[in-house]
Structures are given as structure tokens and as C-alpha cells.
Amino acid sequence: MIDPVSRARALSGDIIAARPEMDDLRRLPDSLATRFRDAQLYRLCVPREYGGLEAAPRVTAETLEALAEVDASAAWCVMISATTGVFGAYLNSDVAGSLFRDPDLVFAGVYAPMGHATVEGDSYRVTGQWKWNSGGQNATWLCGGCVIYENGAPRMLAEKTPDHRMMLFPAGDVTFLDTWHTAGLRGTGSCDIIVHDLAVPRSRSISLITDKPRIKTPLYAFPIFGLLAIGIAAVASGNAHAALREFAALASTKRAPNGRTLNERGVVQSVYAEASAQLQAARAFLFSEIDAAWAQAQGNCEISLEQRAKLRLAATHMTRTAAEVVRTVQDLAGGASVFVTGPLYRRLADSQTMTAHIMIASATYELTGRALLGVPVSAAEL
């Protein structure tokens, strides 16, 4: 049986060796993406029916944590491609099989409905530009969310909201724009992608609002947004745990003018201990809710609205707590942390960039609060 966590840890040396090239290219080098593909890390959420791992969410989270302890950008790219693998459970079996049985498949894309898709017979005519396309330059297939237009107007759902679907297309049909110039998550290659007037068969589209998974196994009872959110949280967790270790190593050698090392100062000891407790508590909350949701999925393949809200809340809390923890130890490190080549600078920039993702943005507290207080919330939002 494949152990993805062990495979992720075994790639630590490859990730470290690739980091200079990753920084120069501002994306994953193809050689590193190939290692991830060959280790089947991109197939964590692909159905077993198509040769995927169909891993339990806890396993996926622990795998992403292990990668992020080495490099958050590398883990982020695996997270995006791995979670996109759930599409295999939604597509019809012929289309899903033709895509996901390919051992060279690397999937990536953007959920946000930034594109325009016009109904045209058995196809959609798609035009759009999507931001935040992490890992896309290593992908063989991509996807982008589109608002559906019919008879010149957006097609509306019963809830009086525009219908939108994910469109799947070969990477060769995409134009990449060099827009990813950041300090944080620099190596993810999260640049814009463009398609223009592209015909996409209806069978190569899915709705994250109205479609139900064709494969009725526990993993696909998980809401896609919840799975994506816990993936982000796992990357944040691994990054923050590594920052704590890297600070501890620095604190044992950095000396003040009086000759004492940083780790001998009482204020440093106290703040470090508190930050460590905050991180461990947030992680415990995250994995407790992952396990609770998984228990529901295994029991009846239906996760309650309350549990969906708790899952998103725990993921948001983990990601944002992790960013605060990294900021805390960066502050304790003082001047040693300001250099771009230093590990704490990278950890801080990566952790802060993660908090910008819409799945764990501060607005999620309002969304989950509504659900937990009994105020009506659409299950599609969670």
C-alpha cells in the first residue's frame, strides 16, 4: 500500500535542491513536478476507479504538511493539483477515465467563475482570464470557472443566482501571462491564464453547485470547498511548524551583546512557548474536525451543514493562526529575519500570502458563524 506521507518526506532533498530554480522561474521546475507526479502525490484525491489513491482527508492533509515543512510553494502546487482530482468523481466515466487513467496527467485550475461560457449545442464556447493559476505551467490539463450564458443572458438557478460551471481544457489551449511577481509563495507560478473562443464539450464541465458526485464513496461526500480549505490549512500548518524549528535553531546560536543566546532570554522562552501552544491547538482543532467529517462521510456519505461549517472554520483558524505564529517568531528573531535569503523571511512571506485565499479569508468567519448560529446558509457556500 502506498504511504503518501513517507513519499512526501522522501522528496525533501529534491525540493531543497530545486528551490533556487523555483525562485528564479517563479514556478515549480518541470523536473520537480515530474517527481511529484511519479510519486503519485497529484493523485491523492483521484478515484481508485481510475488508478488514484482516493486518500482519506487526514492522509492528504498530513502529506501536504510534510511537503510544506520543506517548502510551502511546492506543497501548495501539490495541494491544488491533488484536490482537483475529485473532479474524477463528478465527470461521466468515459471522460473521467480518458483523463485520469493517464499516468502523466497533472491537473490544475481556478474555481472562481471569471470566464464566460455560451451554450452552443453539445458544447460551451468559452472565453476568459483567470488569476491565481497555481501550478498551471506544470499541468497537462487546466480548468476555469465560467458563468453560463444562454440566449444572450446569464442562465439563472432556482436561487436566482447565475449558473456557473468548471470548464476543463488541455493546457495546450491556454495562454499564460507572466503576472506572478510576489514575495510569498513565489514558486507556485500562480500566473493568469487566458482562453479565447474555445469549444468545450458539455461532458468536460462540472458544476460545484448543482452536480452530485457519480462515485458514492466517503471521500466524495466531502464538500469540494471544504477539502480545498483543509488543504490550504495543512500547508499553513507545515510551514508554521518549520518556522518554529528554524527559529529554535537560530535562537540557540544568536547571541546578544551580553553573550547570552536568544533562547536563554525569559521573554523569548515565554513567547515561543505560547506560540507553540497556539499552533498545536489550531492543528488539533483542524484534525478533530477532519476526523469528525470523515466519520459522517463513512457512516452515511452525507456531511451535515453544521459539520461543513466547522470544517471551514477550523481550516480558516489554522491558516490564520499559523500566519500569526510565524509573524511572532520572525519578530523574536529581530534583524536576522529580514534577509530575503533567510528561512524565516520565506516562511513569513509564504504564510501571509496564504491568508489571501478566499477559502480561508476572514470573511469565512462570518459565513461559518451564520451557519453555526442557525442563520440560513446555502450548502454550496460550504
Q: Kindly tell me the burial class for residue 248, based on how many C-beta atoms sit within 10 Å of its own C-beta (0-12, 13-18, 19 or more).
A: middle
Over the stretch 64-78, which tens digit does the pLDDT of each residue have?
Answer: 999 999 999 999 999
Q: Do domains 4-100 and 107-206 have the same CATH topology?
A: no
Characterize the bridge pairing of strands 164-170 and 141-150: antiparallel
For the chain, domain boundaries:
4-100, 107-206, 222-381
3-class secondary structure, 88: helix
**Separation CA 48–CA 54 (nearest Å):** 6
Q: Please name the residues in contact with 355: beta carbons below 8 A apart, sequence gap of 6 or more.
A: 319, 320, 323, 361
Range list of H helices, the chain: 4-10, 12-25, 30-38, 57-70, 72-84, 93-100, 224-251, 266-300, 305-333, 343-354, 363-372
Quick one: DSSP state of residue 157? P
For residue 148, pLDDT beyond 80: yes
**Separation CA 45–CA 214 (nearest Å):** 15
Of 3.20.20.105, 1.10.540.10, 3.40.50.10420, 2.40.110.10, the CATH number of 107-206 is 2.40.110.10
For residue 256, pLDDT beyond 80: no
**Architecture in CATH of 4-100:** Orthogonal Bundle (1.10)
Over the stretch 224-246, which tens digit does the pLDDT of each residue have?
Answer: 999 999 999 999 999 999 999 99
**Architecture in CATH of 222-381:** Up-down Bundle (1.20)
Sign of CA dihedral 62, 248, 360, 345: negative
Quick one: DSSP state of residue 91? S
How much is the CA Rg of the chain, to the nearest whole Å?
21
Q: Please name the residues in contact with 287: beta carbons below 8 A apart, sequence gap of 6 or more.
A: 58, 61
The answer to whether the CB of 115 falls within 8 A of the CB of 127 is yes
**Separation CA 354–CA 17 (nearest Å):** 23
For residue 259, pLDDT beyond 80: no
The answer to whether the CB of 208 falls within 8 A of the CB of 167 is no
Q: Kindly tell me the burial class for residue 376, based on how many C-beta atoms sit within 10 Å of its own C-beta (0-12, 13-18, 19 or more).
A: exposed
**Cα separations in angstroms, 112 against 65, 130, 146, 195, 374:** 25, 8, 8, 15, 27
What per-residue confidence (pLDDT) applies to 379? Answer: 81
261 phi and psi, to 5 degrees?
Answer: -75, 160
Mean pLDDT for the stretch of residues 59-65: 98
Over the stretch 4-46, which tens digit does the pLDDT of each residue have?
Answer: 999 999 999 999 999 999 999 999 999 999 999 999 999 999 9
Mean pLDDT for the stretch of residues 194-211: 95
Mean pLDDT, the chain, rounded, equals 95
Mean pLDDT for the stretch of residues 331-354: 90
Confidence of residue 254 (pLDDT cuts 50, 70, 90): confident
Tell me which residue has cell 455560451. Answer: 118
